[in-house]
Structure 1
């Protein structure tokens, strides 16, 4: 996780006062995790292995093994929402609600073990789930895989998305969080517009205008479904030719199913290919999804959400750029993202023309 130095309120004529926020200490997390596992298991628990699985910009993921006299050895995963993450403060609830609601459904998810929004012993929002054996395919390495294997996985991927969208949303915890007629997709566009309005060294007029256009032209959904929010190649585990778990449910909400479909087909997540996983043509994806979900895909809505996907990608990139240039995150990967902005903005412009 990149460490950050955030500014306090600057006083004109003085140097910025840089305040270093709390940093997640792996050794402290391991010690606290042993205490937490001992409490919830009712037996003294030892953490026999422990290590970070990722160095991303958001949630921190740890793999560990817990050994207790009552339960033996268990391989588990811990995800922590750090105080200095790119999108802090974090809520563990969307992920917890998703894992609870989808257990035993046609959507494979890891079994939830424990969670705490207030941090419990660990000190930060977290959840613990079962470890799932398998590999997480990297989108940019797709060309190295056998095309027939990728086709099998891509079809499973779409069938699982259809299964997710067939779930009755009113039977999930997300239904109680829906704010009447207030639509999650409109709230999200408003939030990204506010994020892009924050001061940076760069200003893109097209993003300013495009955000207003998206807000004014957001289509009504054909139905309200559970939306994953980040359903893409790279967010699942496969094992022996099967997708055994869908990951990263932190953006889950009730909304328009076209949002997931458009996000999944972005070339960014498909090794820059217009084909899903580099093998499934757009028409084949839509046909398979419609047949499996029973939801008719609207060309107009899909075009809108393809534009929205690029707008969201641009907003996320600008969050990273701002973190480096303004908030002083010392991670050069964030600086590199600034060079990617022109191509994203050009793609967004083309997508807006297609959606208009």
Structure 2
């Protein structure tokens, strides 16, 4: 169909604002070798050990291991093993704090702790949250503590093993189950810090992304056209659910072919039921396994079967298609934001510049999806 860039009477696009306005970005994480929290420092280790003792009502444990973990886009993660003197047991934990490249819109550690408690109570598979510290004097920044969970989040390893051992369909089915369990979470006082649900509707998202494009010096007509298509085809809002916000291969742990934890809840928000599905099925997150729509693991029907098995409603082809288009537009906007961090001079980074070059990939994918329609 012939879709104009903006609806009749829509405002122009040459308003200049700070590049951080508008939709959320996903920065590439820690850069320049800077650390917010250094658990290699024995003093920091001891302060955290004393904090854990105060939270548990037990004697101060001995620090048996402290090592920084790989991964994490917005946060720093450390493994901390503590040997408790009362029974000699050594517990393995993850200490998680905001990284150097934290941004507005990302949850604080106290907020992420609240989200973890809520989703765990709903049956979502997560690392058990143990404590949260908002006193920066303890370790240099607020932090939360969860149990350490075995597994890998490395996409290429997950997909390699899934192919070799045939785990892909069972993992995709399980991811559908996890999303259905996530949707059981209901709004309460513990989650009152989350943005209002209206921002997570289809038209709310279109408005956010369009607003961000209006802050840029250069026009992006492909994204403007895609946003106009999303606006013209926006579905009516459904029941508001809790969305993960970055539910994809790379943000869950797999141990011996089984999902062991869903990670990285700092972008959780109220939204629409199929938004996380669309993000998971984006071509970019298939890591080269393009024939397997669900994160490079299996076809969409397996994901939907898992979703239905836990009480979820299967998306129609039109709904699934719409939210995959939305996901590609979102990722295109995010890549522009990443590039702007570099181009503005605030954070010179080859990594950020290269992410910006990926915008055209998402633009092309969005156009292809729109042209060919639901599958």
1:24 to 21, 36, 43: 36
- Relative to 1, partners in 2 of residues 1:81 and 1:218: Cα closer, same or farther, differing over 3 Å? farther
1:2 to 27, 31, 34: 31
- Relative to 1, partners in 2 of residues 1:29 and 1:41: Cα closer, same or farther, differing over 3 Å? same
2:333 aligns with 315
Q: TM-score, normalised by structure 2?
A: 0.76
1:38 to 50, 53, 59: 50
2:301 to 278, 283, 308: 283
RMSD of aligned Cα (Å): 3.3
- Relative to 1, partners in 2 of residues 1:96 and 1:191: Cα closer, same or farther, differing over 3 Å? farther
Tell me the number of residue pairs that the alignment of Structure 1 and Structure 2 aligns. Answer: 336
Aligned equivalents of 1:178, 1:87: Cα separation in 2: 12
- Relative to 1, partners in 2 of residues 1:124 and 1:188: Cα closer, same or farther, differing over 3 Å? farther
After superposition, the C-alpha distances for 1:129-159 in whole angstroms (9 at most, x for unaligned) are: 1101222241576145325222222222222
Please state if 1:329 is matched with 2:358.
Answer: no
* Mapping 1:176-325, distance limit 5 Å: 177=194, 179=196, 182-185=198-201, 187-199=204-216, 203-211=219-227, 213-214=229-230, 217-272=233-288, 273-275=290-292, 276-325=294-343
- Relative to 1, partners in 2 of residues 1:310 and 1:87: Cα closer, same or farther, differing over 3 Å? farther
Residues 232-241 or 247-256, more deviating:
232-241
Q: Is the 8 A contact 1:3 1:330 kept in 2?
A: no
Please state if 1:151 is matched with 2:169.
Answer: yes
1:12 aligns with none
Per-residue deviation, 1:255: 1.8
After superposition, the C-alpha distances for 1:307-338 in whole angstroms (9 at most, x for unaligned) are: 11111111221222112222343432222223
Aligned equivalents of 1:215, 1:158: Cα separation in 2: 27
- Relative to 1, partners in 2 of residues 1:137 and 1:25: Cα closer, same or farther, differing over 3 Å? closer
Residues 126-135 or 140-149, more deviating:
140-149
